Amino acid sequence: MTDVKTQIDETVKANDVVLYMKGTKEMPQCGFSSRVAGVLNYMGVEYADVNVLADEEVRQGIKDYSDWPTVPQLYVKGEFVGGCDIITEMTLSGELDTLFDENGVEFNKEAADKIREANA
């Protein structure tokens, strides 16, 4: 498992934004992964996606790495942010905008506002 942990650590640190998910950003394989990828895609965030369904060691390894039991998992600048519920809450409250701003991650602020307007 050490090799997988090293692989995950390198991926998380080499990319500003990483989403460990079931499926890919183009073809999510579960509703929760689809929701988070949809938010990031709509907001125009550039991110690396890692399909945990492609590798059982990564699927378990990411849960061990973050000490978080579920996928998807979002990382920004090497830090674990959360899963679907947390990302949804952060998007609706504006906290995700703030997190991206503070970390120099480019995103479409108008798109973020539209998500909030549609869910008000």
Q: How far is CA 117 from CA 45, 51, 95, 113, in A?
A: 19, 31, 15, 6
DSSP for 22-45? SB-SSSBSSHHHHHHHHHHHHTT-
- The pairing of beta strand 79-82 with beta strand 73-76: antiparallel
30 is in an annotated binding site: yes
- Residue owning tokens 């409250």: 93
Annotated binding site for [2Fe-2S] cluster: 30
Annotated binding site: 30
